[in-house]
Amino acid sequence: MTRSCVGHLLLAAAIATTSCDRPKQVDLIVYNALVYTVDSAFSTAEAFAVQNGRFIAVGTSTEIQANYKATETIDAHGKPIYPGFYDAHAHFTGFAQTFGQADLTGAKSFEEVVDRLKAFRTEYPNTTWIRGRGWDQNLWASKAFPDRKKLDEVFPNIPVYLVRIDGHAAIANGRALKLAGIQSPMTVAGGIIEVKNSRLTGMLVDNAMGLVASKIPEYTASDLTQMLHQAEAACFAVGLTTVSDAGLNQRNIELLDSLYLTGTLHIRNHAMAGLSEKNLRHYLAKGPYVSERFTVRTFKLFADGALGSRGACLLEPYTDVPTSGFLLSSIAAIDSAIARVAASDFQLATHAIGDSANRLILNTYGKYLQGKNNRRWSIEHAQVIAPQDFEKFETYNIIPSVQPTHATSDMYWATDRLGPERIKGAYAYQQLLSKTGLLALGSDFPVEHINPLYGFHAAIARVDQNGYPNGGFQPENAISREAALRGMTSWAAYAKFEEDKRGSIEVGKKADFVMLATDIMTAPEESLRGIDVLRTAINGETVYRRD
């Protein structure tokens, strides 16, 4: 071997050549870029080569162009490139279904909600139910839950079902309540059917929602497929190449699988099966399912509800209302479910918001994980943690899967719910990071916006889109830009046992990447949410390009 060939083999990017004289043919070369590899050293490069959907070389533009020739080349013109963004906790299928519903996000009053429903009814006059999602009473002057009276006046003959922004409460009109058989006050374990002055207000919280939701006709496979295409396109446009689709039923998992098998969908999807008795029996018998773009190896358990609807289970009562929230299942049922997953090869991801719910799950996880382990179980949200419980994440190797925009969405009212002392253990991302060494970052969309740069901004600046509050909300729990980027790439992949496949731009890994108009590692904080995605690629193939 000549000294020249040895020099080629010792390139920092581990470039391998088969000949000193002839460049190797590849599918794609990207050069003249600022490439954040997000490898263990957080190194940068200028170029890479892709063959058969994988990175086969990463280095300088000169090195790559000297040693490879490609069917397709991309001159990045100095633009930054990152590993494809990964949303570690989303509701991709749920987001898809919002394309068939009224968008109530950001409504400043219940009157505005009703006005949007009127417009929706005009646009879709043949729908048999009026469905909507996104209302938030914390944006209204009264900050009180709505009442169905206005819905009954405007829509007396068609059922209406409107889900709150967090997905843990809904309001139904009289027609919908009647179809669900709710005609008088009822008790529901793990839920609330609100009654005021001996009258049903239409408000349903957590498990009570299913009484009405179960009566709504399901979307046809054809309709849902079309919605999934719309959702996928929206994700690609913001740089997402992988989503973790939390809490699916068997029907939706089977539909997704069929769409991936036929090549109809392309976004990578790590689906979490909702932890129901039906799903447990079915998927525990089948075992984990891993394919090129679709994976089912995680169960999603709900411990409690949401802080915004006061369903989060707290150790002490809410500061603003004399209730401590509630668990969605009995302690015995939660323990039994966790034990069954522990005896399998599946991962477990548990929704826990309140400090009581988090303590219960941390302790129960610990009971079955028994110290250090590599099961990579997670607590989704990990939103309010008692001071003495943070160390349990480290003790049992539990991954905090958090959504930074939750902090900046909830900060306007969270202290009212929790009080000035308890709020210090809420949305404590840096404190969690210091215990675990990693965070898996997501958005929880459609609860929050799908754009991962919103989460990046919230994680590092702890402010909303308007820069409020000055100095940031609990700024001591902001994380660094490097940590935020790792959280939405390599750490998110690690959380799903996918760190050898993707999450960084390294030789041998899947060639998923995103090109942005401006570098998020150096751009002013106030500009981060407005940075455009120029290109999104999966396996080196462009799935989105901004013209």
pLDDT at 6 over 50: no
Q: Which residues pair with 391 in a beta bridge?
A: none
Average pLDDT over residues 370-379: 97
Predicted model pTM: 0.93
What are the angstrom distances between the C-alpha of 68 and each of 11, 26, 57, 512?
Answer: 13, 7, 9, 19
Q: What is the mean pLDDT of the chain?
A: 95
> In the prediction, which pLDDT does 12 show?
41
> In the prediction, which pLDDT does 17 show?
41
The model's confidence at residue 547, banded by pLDDT at 50, 70 and 90, is confident
pLDDT at 7 over 50: no
> In the prediction, which pLDDT does 21 show?
62
pLDDT digits (tens, 9 = 90+) for 150-201: 999 999 999 999 999 999 999 999 999 999 999 889 999 999 999 999 999 9
Average pLDDT over residues 39-58: 98
Both structure tokens of 106: 């950001």
Q: Considering the chain, what percentage of its residues have pLDDT values greater than 90?
A: 95
pLDDT at 119 over 60: yes
> In the prediction, which pLDDT does 1 show?
37
The model's confidence at residue 3, banded by pLDDT at 50, 70 and 90, is very low
d(CA 269, CA 248): 12
Average pLDDT over residues 323-327: 97
Task: List the alpha helices (DSSP H) in 20-148.
Answer: 61-67, 92-97, 110-123
Contact between residue 347 and residue 284 where contact means Cβ atoms under 8 Å apart? no
pLDDT digits (tens, 9 = 90+) for 72-103: 999 999 999 999 999 999 999 999 999 999 99
Both structure tokens of 445: 């969309």
Q: Do β-strands 191-196 and 169-172 pair in parallel, antiparallel, or remain unpaired?
A: unpaired
> In the prediction, which pLDDT does 20 show?
53
pLDDT at 393 over 50: yes
Both structure tokens of 220: 């046809």
Average pLDDT over residues 441-455: 98
Average pLDDT over residues 265-270: 98
Q: Which amino acid is at 71?
A: T
Cα distance from N-terminal residue to C-terminal residue, the chain: 46
pLDDT at 2 over 60: no
pLDDT digits (tens, 9 = 90+) for 469-490: 999 999 999 999 999 999 999 9
> In the prediction, which pLDDT does 14 show?
45
pLDDT at 412 over 70: yes
Four-residue CA torsion sign, 251, 256, 259, 262 = negative
> In the prediction, which pLDDT does 22 show?
86
Least confident of 7-16, 138-147, 384-393, 423-432: 7-16
The model's confidence at residue 9, banded by pLDDT at 50, 70 and 90, is very low
d(CA 80, CA 309): 41
Greatest alpha-carbon pair distance for the chain in Å reads: 90
pLDDT at 505 over 70: yes
> In the prediction, which pLDDT does 16 show?
43
> In the prediction, which pLDDT does 4 show?
34
> Three-state DSSP class for 61?
helix
pLDDT at 18 over 60: no
In SS3 terms, 216-259 reads as CCCCCHHHHHHHHHHHHHHHHHCCEEEEEEEEECHHHHHHHHHH
In SS3 terms, 480-493 reads as CHHHHHHHCCHHHH
